[in-house]
A and B are shown apart, each in its own frame.
Chain A
Amino acid sequence: MAGAATQASLESAPRIMRLVAECSRSRARAGELRLPHGTVATPVFMPVGTQATMKGITTEQLDALGCRICLGNTYHLGLRPGPELIQKANGLHGFMNWPHNLLTDSGGFQMVSLVSLSEVTEEGVRFRSPYDGNETLLSPEKSVQIQNALGSDIIMQLDDVVSSTVTGPRVEEAMYRSIRWLDRCIAAHQRPDKQYLFAIIQGGLDADLRATCLEEMTKRDVPGFAIGGLSGGESKSQFWRMVALSTSRLPKDKPRYLMGVGYATDLVVCVALGCDMFDCVFPTRTARFGSALVPTGNLQLRKKVFEKDFGPIDPECTCPTCQKHSRAFLHALLHSDNTAALHHLTVHNIAYQLQLMSAVRTSIVEKRFPDFVRDFMGTMYGDPTLCPTWATDALASVGITLG
């Protein structure tokens, strides 16, 4: 589908993003996503609830933390319990009883993470189910069909995902295939008015390939763009350059979703680079290993040093865990077999991520984002100048200095 090759989007694409404020120095933006299940303030961090559950916390708890969009995983849900059942249950919203927004990925990422079980062809990805051994073909059409059944508010195209550490012709093949798969997804999508299909920019760590992908995909009539194929094993130096390249070529009036990014520093830097949406399993996963996220990094609460630490995880945090419990109690509970310990930390870590993004957003709206970044880096690394080189470089590239 051809269109104007400029950064302005085509008239017929649904405008789901409203810009509320922009940083005058960097590319940071504050906005609002208007989605079928309510408004979402951006920049936003989306916790990942892979199998129709946010790992031990109820949807009521998630709502109480202020979360308004989270992720579900098409690959997993497509296998168990399957799209037909979920459709009978009134979609994924009905099945898990989540009143706010859902974003589902296409199942493509599992191609990289479960590559021994899959084979990629032009048709799609052939999987062997780890649960019953059955073979399934996940094609662009099938992926969209499953996501239509799930009824998520934002759905992702099936992309040909290649690990960022792979080099050579495979990267180019995957990039061009992703474009063709995008068109197939657009054609197969049955509910464009109820579910917003996002494209995913590929091209690995090759600037030319990325640029080509950007040029082609932005010609397509989609409500939003994701930056994919990063956040794997690549160096941070290469990572930020690809993010910056992507945001420089993506339309301003559509959301930019950077997939798989969730470390606090990465979030702050990538907001500066112009990204609006993020997802990552890290905060919830690390919680289940006893690690609590704090402005100075993290606390591994299982360690003996916290045995008699009677303060909360973070005295500034307003989450229920910090309001009611001490590090010492959580330490003791983590050494028991009561799963409640994990849930306390999951609640806190999600709160940490959401509070961080909220603070980022407020600073953009109040026109002090660069100062916020400096404060953030100072707290995290002891001094803004002690921030990792890649982050310093990335911020400098968009006009924020840390010295």
Chain B
Amino acid sequence: MVCWQDLEESFRMKLSLTKVVNGCRLGKIKNLGKTGDHTMDIPGCLLYTKTGSAPHLTHHTLHNIHGVPAMAQLTLSSLAEHHEVLREYKEGVGKFIGMPESLLYCSLHDPVSPCPAGYVTNKSVSVWSVAGRVEMTVSKFMAIQQALQPDWFQCLSDGEVSCKEATSIKRVRKSVDRSLLFLDNCLRLQEESEVLQKSVIIGVIEGGDVMEERLRSARETAKRPVGGFLLDGFQGNPTTLETRLRLLSSVTAELPEDKPRLISGVSRPDEVLECIERGVDLFESFFPYQVTERGCALTFSFDYQPNPEETLLQQNGTQEEIKCMDQIKKMETTGCNQEITSFEINLKEKKYQEDFNPLVRGCSCYCCKNHTRAYIHHLLVTNELLAGVLLMMHNFEHYFGFFHYIREALKSDKLTQLKELIHRQAS
């Protein structure tokens, strides 16, 4: 019999809320990690990685970035195929990837790559790696986690509902039932595993777009001794999130206050704010990566208290950008350029060819301190690898800066101003 009370007490990590403003939770999670001495701020984000490495970045270039989050997100889809290697390695994935000091959260899927539907059964879930499909039963899943030894990991869950359109209630119900069954089985196996005592299972809230099922999933999952909650199935395009926001509020209302709430697949600045207002604490940082891959740089403003001159310049800039955006949208019919948001500029545009300004004036990132828009433009036109490196450094730093400002805005009761500023820039 699983003694849930013992498991609960064994959690050293502690979430303390400083304040709650408009549904937004500001606080810290303390006593994190194997040695129990790491801290994370909430609201916050996790460092996005691919196969255990920040995209395009080596240790040196990653450490050029200011404000890198204390916790990195690993994906099982990129690591499951290396199970045997990690098992033989014995010392855990953190050391293997050269990030022994970082906190690590292991999610099932990569938020950037869509998951093909039709591969979850009552007994197994599949992830998609470069090598192909990796099917995992509960025992295989837990064996992999034993080899990885992450600090947190998303429990095996049935998230397929969000991959498909028009899912039946029956299928939605099944996703909740399966996820709870997987959870109970994983918790049981964790009990029996010496190596996983210091790892924390994150329970997954499913339920698609059916309120009743969402509430059931939330209430049932909350009964289990999980370390936190992952709100799954809210990803999609901006319109789908909007319709799901009400569901989100209802779900978080059912969850205990003293455990962190993560959300998968939501990373855009405007959507981040909406979710924070509905009780979400932690986000993935894949949005800056997507921006990088389309040759763009994040330029949106989050300084809700700049000097008046700056405000004027930025406003004018934003007007320009919106005009260009409309033009571009008309030109492009396919490709990821269609997804360019108004939070970013497209460095491939000819107008940057002779622009010797940094990507963002006043930005303290390595790219902005050392290089110009003209140079980045050249690197993109000539297809040089350094383009991705420099853009990634800027985009991560800009994004982490945004989260810092969210916390500052909450601290000083300026959230409305920040929201207004972001929404003015959302297309």
A residues neighboring B (CB under 8 Å) = 51-61, 64, 76, 80-81, 85, 88-89, 95-97, 307-308, 310, 320-321, 324-326, 328-329, 332-333, 335-344, 347
Of the stretches B46-54, B202-210, B246-254, B305-313, the one at the interface is: B46-54
A81 touching B378 in the complex, CB below 8 Å, given contacts A58-B390, A88-B354, A336-B78: yes
Q: Is the CB of A51 within 8 A of B61?
A: no
**Which of B182-190, B369-377, B394-402 lines the interface with chain A?**
B369-377
B374–A58 CB distance below 8 A: no
Q: A336 CA to B81 CA in the complex, in Å? A: 11
How far apart are the CA atoms of A169 and B56 in the complex, in Å? 50
Taken together as a complex, chains A and B put the C-alpha atoms of A95 and B386 apart, in Å, by 14
**B388 in the interface (beta carbon within 8 A):** yes
**Top 10 A-B pairs ranked by shortest CB distance?**
A56-B385, A336-B51, A53-B386, A338-B50, A340-B53, A324-B98, A51-B382, A81-B378, A53-B384, A97-B370
- Is B379 located at the chain interface by the 8 A CB criterion? yes
Give the docked Cα–Cα distance between A223 and B138 (Å): 72
Q: List 29 A-B contacts (CB under 8 A).
A: A51-B384, A55-B384, A55-B386, A56-B386, A57-B389, A58-B61, A58-B64, A58-B370, A58-B386, A58-B389, A58-B390, A60-B64, A64-B60, A76-B382, A85-B353, A88-B356, A89-B374, A96-B375, A97-B371, A328-B85, A329-B97, A332-B82, A336-B78, A339-B389, A340-B55, A340-B57, A342-B385, A343-B58, A343-B61
Partner of B85, one of A58, A308, A339, A344: A308
CB distance A340 to B54 under 8 Å?
yes
Q: How many angstroms between the C-alpha atoms of A325 and B51 in the bound complex?
A: 14
B88 is an interface residue with CB less than 8 A from chain A:
yes
Residue of B nearest to A334 (CB): B51
Option from A56, A328, A332 in Cβ contact (under 8 Å) with B51: A332
Query: Which residues in window 52-91 of B have CB below 8 A to A?
Result: 52-61, 64, 78, 82, 85, 88-89
State whether B64 touches A347 (Cβ < 8 A). no
Q: Does B96 contact A (CB under 8 A)?
A: yes
**Which of chain B's residues has its CB closest to A310's CB?**
B89
CB pair B382–A80 under 8 Å, yes or no, is yes
Please state if B375 and A89 are interface contacts (CB–CB under 8 Å).
yes
A328 to B374, CA, bound (A): 38
Given contacts A95-B375, A332-B85, contact A337 B130 (CB under 8 A): yes
- The minimal Cβ–Cβ distance linking A231 to chain B, given in whole angstroms, is 25
4 additional contacts, CB 8 Å, given A52-B375, A336-B50? A53-B379, A56-B56, A81-B353, A329-B97
Minimal beta-carbon separation of A223 from chain B (angstroms): 30
A80, closest chain B residue (CB): B382
CA distance A111 to B198 in the complex (A): 63
Please, which residue of chain B has its CB at the minimum distance from the CB of A320?
A: B60
User: Are the C-beta atoms of B98 and A325 separated by less than 8 Å?
Assistant: yes
Q: Is the CB of B56 within 8 A of A343?
A: yes
Chain B residues with CB under 8 A of A337: 50, 130
Partner pick for A324 among B51, B59, B78, CB 8 A cutoff: B59
B381, CB-defined interface residue at 8 Å:
yes
Given contacts A58-B386, A81-B378, A332-B85, contact A320 B130 (CB under 8 A): no
- Output the nearest chain B residue to A76 by Cβ-Cβ distance: B382
Inter-chain contacts of B11 with A (CB < 8 A)? none
Which B residues are CB-close (under 8 A) to A76?
A: 382
Closest residue on chain A to residue B78 by CB atoms: A336
Q: Separation in Å of the A55 CB from the closest CB of chain B?
A: 6
Q: A336 vs B82: C-alpha distance in the bound complex, in angstroms?
A: 11
Contact A339–B56 (Cβ < 8 Å)? yes
Does B366 interact with chain A (Cβ within 8 Å)? yes
B contact residues vs A (CB 8 Å cutoff): 50-61, 64, 78, 82, 85, 88-89, 96-98, 130-131, 353-354, 356, 366, 370-372, 374-375, 378-379, 381-382, 384-386, 388-390
Q: How far is the CA of A89 from the CA of B375 in the complex (A)?
A: 9
> In whole angstroms, what is the CA distance A340 to B50 when docked?
10
Taking CB as reference atom, which chain A residue is nearest B98? A324
- Contact at A308–B88, with CB atoms within 8 Å? yes
* Residue from B58, B354, B370, B371 in contact with A320 in the complex, judged by beta carbons closer than 8 Å: B58
Which residue of chain B has its CB nearest to the CB of A79? B382
How far apart sit A328 and B82, CA to CA, in the bound complex (Å)? Answer: 10
* Contact between A80 and B378, CB atoms less than 8 A apart: yes
Determine which of A53, A60, A338, A347 lies in contact with B56 in the assembled complex, contact meaning CB atoms within 8 Å: A338
Shortest Cβ distance from B93 into A: residue: A329
Alpha-carbon distance A329/B60, docked complex (angstroms): 17
Residues of A close to B375: CB separation below 8 A: 52, 89, 95-97
B61 x A61 contact (CB < 8 A): yes
**Identity of the chain A residue whose Cβ is nearest the Cβ of B131 in the assembled complex:** A335
Whether A85 contacts B354 by the Cβ 8 Å rule is yes
Contacts of B59 in A (CB 8 A): 320, 324
Using Cβ atoms and an 8 Å threshold, which residues of chain B touch A53?
A: 379, 384-386
A347 to B385 CA separation, bound complex (whole angstroms): 14
Question: Shortest CB–CB separation between residue B137 and chain A, in angstroms?
Answer: 23
Chain B residue nearest in CB terms to A347: B58
Report the minimum CB–CB distance from B100 to chain A (whole Å).
10
- Bound together, the chains give a CA A337 to CA B385 distance in angstroms of 13
Q: Which residues of B contact A96 (CB under 8 A)?
A: 375
Residue of B nearest to A81 (CB): B378
Is there contact, CB below 8 Å, between B58 and A344? yes
Give Cα A360 to B156, complex, Å.
Answer: 56
Are B370 and A321 interface neighbours, CB within 8 A?
no
Chain B residues with CB below 8 A from A55, complex form? 384-386
A343 touches B384 (CB 8 A): no
Contact B374 A85 (CB under 8 A): yes
- B369 CB, min distance to chain A CBs, angstroms: 10
For residue B55, which residues in chain A have a CB less than 8 angstroms away from its CB? 338-340
* Chain A positions within 8 Å of B56 at CB level: 56, 338-340, 343
Given A326-B96, A329-B96, A336–B366 Cβ distance below 8 Å?
no
Bound complex: CA A97 to CA B57 (Å): 19
Complex contacts, B61 vs chain A, CB 8 Å: 58, 61, 343
> Chain A's nearest CB lies how many Å from the CB of B342?
27
Would A339 and B385 count as touching, CB distance under 8 A? yes
Check A343–B130 contact: CB distance below 8 A: no
A181–B88 Cα distance when bound, in Å, is: 63
Partner of A343, one of B50, B78, B371, B389: B389
B51 engages A80 (CB within 8 Å)? no
List the A side residues contacting B85 at CB < 8 Å: 307-308, 328, 332
CB distance from B52 to the nearest CB of A (A): 8
Min CB distance B64 to A, Å, is 7
Given A308-B88, A328-B96, A338-B51, does the pair A56, B389 have CB atoms closer than 8 Å?
Answer: yes
